[in-house]
Amino acid sequence: MTSEEQLTRGLAALGLDLPPSAQEKLLAFAALLGKWNKVYNLTALRDEQQVISHHLLDSLAMLPHLGNAKRLADIGSGGGLPGIPLAIARPDLQVALVESNQKKSAFQQQAKIELGLANVSVHCERVEAWRPEEKCDVVISRAFSDLAEFVKLSGHLLAEDGALLAMKGVHPYEEIAQLPAGWRVAEVIPLQVPGVEGARHLVRVEREP
């Protein structure tokens, strides 16, 4: 199966209808990730099909759960995941990539330029030090930290009625129990990602009302 076929089938399985231009950009991003990975070690995955399933489709599985968010921050974004695939899929969404590693930030900047992503901004700094002009509707992380740490470091970025979304493997019962006061888990959403074996869950954390 070609990467194009794999992506098309995966999007259909996720119930996502993206225009051909977005699919082309997603594949171009995957190619860019592969090219830069040889030098910058952005991801442990080298196999092209795994990049499609474990990076692109895994990131896009979050898409239906963003609601009508206008501003999103991707914390510890690494190779631009999940922020860049989400920005490609939702050109109306302002996506801030926050990553303290300079090499990874340099890759993100290059991807933004090469893919023409006007809705992406790159911030090479530690999340706890980043102070955006406007708060975010959604703050996401994919492999950043445990939930308590995520809340502690990123909570200040969130608009009053916003949500933190953390991508996890198995249902994180212990992490949920360690959440600091003033925060609650609104929802734990099981995800089925085409080509990815093992459990995937999206944890939605909100301020206590």
CATH number, domain at 148? Answer: 3.40.50.150
Burial class (CB in 10 A: 0-12, 13-18, 19+), 139: buried
Cα separation of 57 and 146, whole Å?
22
Cα separation of 21 and 17, whole Å?
12
Residue 39: what pLDDT? Answer: 67
- Extract the tokens encoding 80: 């631009």
Burial class (CB in 10 A: 0-12, 13-18, 19+), 2: exposed
Domain enclosing residue 176, as ranges: 3-207
Rg (CA), the chain: 16
Residues of the chain under the 50 pLDDT cut: none
Q: How much of the chain is helix, strand and coil, in % rounded to 5?
A: 45, 25, 35
**Domain count of the fold of the chain:** 1
